[in-house]
Amino acid sequence: MVEDPASTADPLQSDGNSPIPPVYTYWGQFLDHDLTANTDRDSAVSDITRPGLTPLRPDTVVGTLLNLRRPALNLDSVYGDGPALDGAAPDGSLYDGIDLLVGTVAETDRDGNPVPGVHVPPDVEPGPFDLRRDLPRNGVKARVGDDRNDENLVVAQLHVAFLRFHNEVVRWVRANEPEHVGDAAVFARARRLVQWHHQWLVVHDYLRTVTFPGVVDAVLVGGNRHFAPGDGAVFMPLEFSVACFRFGHSMVRGVYDWNENFGRPGRQVLASAPFDLLFTFTGNAPQPFRGATDVLPFNWVADWDRLIDKGAVFPDRFARRIDTRLAPPLRDMQNEGNAAADPEVRRLLKRLATRNLLRGYLLAIPTGQEVAAALGVAPLTADELRRGNSAGLDEALVEGGFVERTPLWFYVLKEAEVRANGATLGEAGSHVVVETIIGQLRADPDSYLHSGWDPGAGVRSATGAPIVTIGDLLRFAGVR
Question: Residue numbers of the site for ligand HEM (CB under 6 A)?
Answer: 25, 28-29, 32, 36-40, 152, 241, 245-246, 248-249, 251-252, 333, 336, 352, 355-356, 359
Q: How far is the CB of 38 from ligand HEM (least distance, A)?
A: 5
Q: Residue 356 or 430: which CB sits closer to ligand HEM? A: 356
Q: How far is the CB of 319 from ligand HEM (least distance, A)?
A: 9
Q: How far is the CB of 63 from ligand HEM (least distance, A)?
A: 17
Q: How far is the CB of 250 from ligand HEM (least distance, A)?
A: 9
Taken in order 252, 156, 466, 194, the sign of the CA dihedral is positive
Q: Is 53 left (phi over 0), alpha (psi -120 to 50) or beta?
A: beta
Q: Residue 40 or 109: which CB sits closer to ligand HEM? A: 40
Q: Residue 65 or 100: which CB sits closer to ligand HEM? A: 65
- The amino acid present at 112, given as its one-letter code, is G
Q: How far is the CB of 140 from ligand HEM (least distance, A)?
A: 19
Query: Any alpha helices (H) in 281-390, and if so which ranges?
Result: 305-308, 343-349, 352-362, 368-375, 382-386
Q: Residue 36 or 369: which CB sits closer to ligand HEM? A: 36
Q: Residue 159 or 189: which CB sits closer to ligand HEM? A: 159
Distance CA 6, CA 28 (A): 27
Residues 6+ apart with CB under 8 A from 238: 39, 61, 62, 65, 363, 365
Distance CA 195, CA 343 (A): 43
- CA 365, chain centre distance (Å): 22
Exposed e or buried b per residue across 273-312, where buried means at least 16 C-beta atoms within 10 angstroms of its C-beta: bbbebbbbbbbbbeebbeebbbbbbbbbbbbbbbbbbeeb
Distance CA 252, CA 22 (A): 8
Q: Residue 95 or 227: which CB sits closer to ligand HEM? A: 227
Q: How far is the CB of 135 from ligand HEM (least distance, A)?
A: 17
